Amino acid sequence: MNFEQFIEKIEGVRLQTDLLHCSVNQTPQQHQQLLMQAVEQLSVSLEELHVAEEELLQQNEQLVEYQQEIEKEHQRYQQLFDFAPDGYIVTDIHGKILEANQAALQLFAIDKVRLIGKILIVFVPQEARREFRQKLSQLCQQGEFKDWEICLQNHQKILFDCQISTTTINDKGNCIGIRWLLRDISAHKQAEAKIRCVELQNCQLQEAAQLKSQIVTVLSHELRTPLNAILGFSDIVLRLNKNQFTSQSVKMVETIIRNGKQLLKLINNMLDFAKLEEGKFSLSLQYFNIKELIKLVADDLRFFANQKNINLDVNINIQNVKVINDPIRIQQLLINLISNAIKFTETGSVLIELQELNDDKIIIIVKDTGIGISEVDFKYIFQAFQQVNQTKSRCYQGTGLGLAIVKDLLNLMGGTITVESQLGEGSTFRVELPREVKSLKNENFSPSG
Ligand SMILES: Nc1ncnc2c1ncn2[C@@H]1O[C@H](COP(=O)(O)OP(=O)(O)O)[C@@H](O)[C@H]1O
Ligand SMILES: [Mg+2]
């Protein structure tokens, strides 16, 4: 029952009462009869009124409940508004601030009492105000703006980058206000600027690295030519004059040759490394017998192991000995690993193992009982020019390029290298290689069967 129905009911009761009043002037019989009728109707109406009253009471209770719920919702939204991480403000169509949440107060570094009533444009730096005014005038027609980036200033005139999104508040088709979402993107902008700076530095570093590689390449080439001549001619001089030379002169020429060879090895390593780093290195792929190659390298190096009274053993445990790879580069890799094992071992042995991991992969293990490497140094030993455990390594020859070359070569071949070691207990280098290295575009591949 609504309010009008309730009024109607009351009107009905009033009519009945009026009737009762009139009936007082009637004849006694009629009066009695009418009085009875009226009383009956009156009690019916009263009953109805009572029911109506109860209904109204119920509706009233419901209304109070609804009102409480609406109040709770309102509070919830107010809290969401107040504590949202981004700044929210509500303005009229001229940009006069009517409401603002906590984040907006923080953004503008001002308290609520002073912010409400201000026009938003006071937080726009002078030079951007023209653009701001234009946007504001377009806002009511366009309905909304998204992710508009502009520089704002807080109450203390400190600038910050802000991303603004807006929606209009409409009443009967007319724009009567604007809701603004303000996101401080200064940190984001700074991070972007830093990334750009790092990218630029990276570019410069890459250029510098490339230049360095080029210098190394040119220098190495230039050094190699005269060095080869020195070595060649020293060898000839020694062979032709061995009988005429005193033993001291022979020793001197032998020293020239030995040191020259050492220098040549270093230059070759530097040249290889520069090429690998520049990505200009290519493999010459072919079928070959890996078992034979390992044995050959071991036989070549056994002399140096024997000089130090170290055993050099080879353990081949593989069915299919054919692989596709660059034998010269595999030989280089083996020489690096095995000569390290011999160099860094004083007593005990060096063991080279060849195994099959599966149909597609083979494993080469070089194990020694030498000085070992501490776990913290594992990540350094594969970097160029890194010789760990310096105090001890100083007494061993080398430049720290060997393992860096091995790692780059394996990268090119699609293989991996890992190391297990304990100081004083020896080291185990484990190389995993694809049985068939896939040919890259600038590699020569000549299957020789
Ligand atoms: N088998 C090994 N035992 C102990 N240390 C090793 C072994 N192999 C490599 N290292 C460590 O890793 C460093 C880098 O090796 P490498 O790149 O071959 O350089 P180099 O042999 O010229 O010193 C070595 O100086 C040494 O400290
Ligand atoms: Mg080495």
pLDDT at 284: 92
pLDDT at 440: 65
pLDDT at 242: 85
Nearest bound ligand to the CA of residue 341: 1
Three-point CA angle 130, 133, 135, nearest 5°: 110
Cβ count within 10 A of residue 179: 15
In this structure, are 354 and 328 located in the same domain? yes
Question: Can you tell me the distance from the alpha carbon of 403 to that of 313, in angstroms, rounded to the nearest whole number?
Answer: 22
In this structure, are 288 and 378 located in the same domain? yes
Mutate to test the pocket of ligand 1, among 387, 410, 428, 429 (most ligand atoms within 8 A of CB): 387
Read off the pLDDT band of 255 (50, 70, 90): very high
Question: How far, in Å, from the CA of 262 to the mean position of ligand 1?
Answer: 17
366 in ligand 1 pocket by Cβ < 6 Å? no
Domain count for the chain? 4
Residue with tokens 């210098």: 215
Read off the pLDDT band of 447 (50, 70, 90): very low
In this structure, are 36 and 59 located in the same domain? yes
Counting from 1 in the atom list of ligand 1, the atom nearest the Cα of 389 is 27
In this structure, are 170 and 249 located in the same domain? no
Mean pLDDT of 63-78: 92
Question: How far, in Å, from the CA of 397 to the mean position of ligand 2?
Answer: 8
Nearest bound ligand to the CA of residue 342: 1
Three-point CA angle 105, 110, 112, nearest 5°: 65
Nearest bound ligand to the CA of residue 310: 1
Question: How far, in Å, from the CA of 361 to the mean position of ligand 1?
Answer: 26
Question: Can you tell me the distance from the alpha carbon of 104 to that of 86, in angstroms, rounded to the nearest whole number?
Answer: 7
Read off the pLDDT band of 23 (50, 70, 90): low
Question: How far, in Å, from the CA of 282 to the mean position of ligand 1?
Answer: 25
Question: Does 443 have pLDDT greater than 60?
Answer: no
Q: Whose CA is nearest to atom 12 of ligand 1?
A: 381
In this structure, are 314 and 359 located in the same domain? yes
Q: Sign of the CA dihedral 144, 147, 150, 156?
A: positive
427 in ligand 1 pocket by Cβ < 6 Å? yes
108 in ligand 1 pocket by Cβ < 6 Å? no
Give the lowest-confidence range in 32-46, 256-270, 374-388: 32-46
Counting from 1 in the atom list of ligand 1, the atom nearest the Cα of 370 is 3
Nearest bound ligand to the CA of residue 389: 1
CATH of the domain at 174: 3.30.450.20
Question: Does 448 have pLDDT greater than 50?
Answer: no
Q: Which residue has the higher pLDDT, 348 or 4?
A: 348
Question: Can you tell me the distance from the alpha carbon of 80 to that of 88, in angstroms, rounded to the nearest whole number?
Answer: 10
- Among 234, 259, 278, where does a domain finish? 278
Could you tell me the two tokens for 444? 């020569």
Q: Report pLDDT digits (tens) over 333-342.
A: 999 999 999 9
Question: How far, in Å, from the CA of 439 to the mean position of ligand 2?
Answer: 28
Mean pLDDT of 368-388: 90
CATH of the domain at 419: 3.30.565.10
In this structure, are 386 and 364 located in the same domain? yes
pLDDT at 442: 46
In this structure, are 169 and 212 located in the same domain? no
Whole-angstrom distance between the N-terminal and C-terminal Cα of the chain?
A: 102
Question: How far, in Å, from the CA of 351 to the mean position of ligand 1?
Answer: 17
Read off the pLDDT band of 449 (50, 70, 90): very low
370 in ligand 1 pocket by Cβ < 6 Å? yes
Question: Can you tell me the distance from the alpha carbon of 392 to that of 406, in angstroms, rounded to the nearest whole number?
Answer: 22
Counting from 1 in the atom list of ligand 1, the atom nearest the Cα of 387 is 25
In this structure, are 257 and 288 located in the same domain? no
In this structure, are 121 and 14 located in the same domain? no
Give the lowest-confidence range in 42-51, 247-256, 320-329: 42-51
- Among 82, 116, 136, where does a domain finish? 82
348 in ligand 1 pocket by Cβ < 6 Å? no
302: domain range?
Answer: 284-445
In this structure, are 196 and 339 located in the same domain? no
Q: Whose CA is nearest to atom 7 of ligand 1?
A: 340
pLDDT at 30: 67
Q: Report pLDDT digits (tens) over 166-215.
A: 999 999 888 999 999 999 999 999 999 999 999 999 999 989 888 887 88
Across the chain, mean pLDDT equals: 89
In this structure, are 360 and 436 located in the same domain? yes
Mean pLDDT of 131-137: 90
pLDDT at 50: 82
Mutate to test the pocket of ligand 1, among 403, 408, 422, 428 (most ligand atoms within 8 A of CB): 403
Question: Does 228 have pLDDT greater than 70?
Answer: yes
In this structure, are 236 and 369 located in the same domain? no
Question: How far, in Å, from the CA of 380 to the mean position of ligand 2?
Answer: 13
Counting from 1 in the atom list of ligand 1, the atom nearest the Cα of 392 is 27
pLDDT at 415: 96
pLDDT at 47: 85
pLDDT at 331: 95
CATH of the domain at 227: 1.10.287
pTM of the model: 0.59
Q: Which helix (H) or strand (E) holds 89?
A: strand 87-91
- Among 82, 110, 140, where does a domain finish? 82
Read off the pLDDT band of 275 (50, 70, 90): confident
User: Under the phi-then-psi rule, with left for phi > 0, alpha for psi from -120 to 50, and beta for the rest, what region is 430?
Assistant: beta
Question: Does 329 have pLDDT greater than 50?
Answer: yes
Question: How far, in Å, from the CA of 276 to the mean position of ligand 2?
Answer: 17
393 in ligand 1 pocket by Cβ < 6 Å? yes
Give the lowest-confidence range in 17-21, 106-110, 291-295, 323-327: 17-21
Question: How far, in Å, from the CA of 202 to the mean position of ligand 2?
Answer: 30
Give the lowest-confidence range in 136-140, 353-357, 419-423: 136-140
Read off the pLDDT band of 27 (50, 70, 90): low
Cβ count within 10 A of residue 195: 10
Question: How far, in Å, from the CA of 38 to the mean position of ligand 2?
Answer: 124
Give me the phi and psi of 223, to 5 degrees please: -75, -35
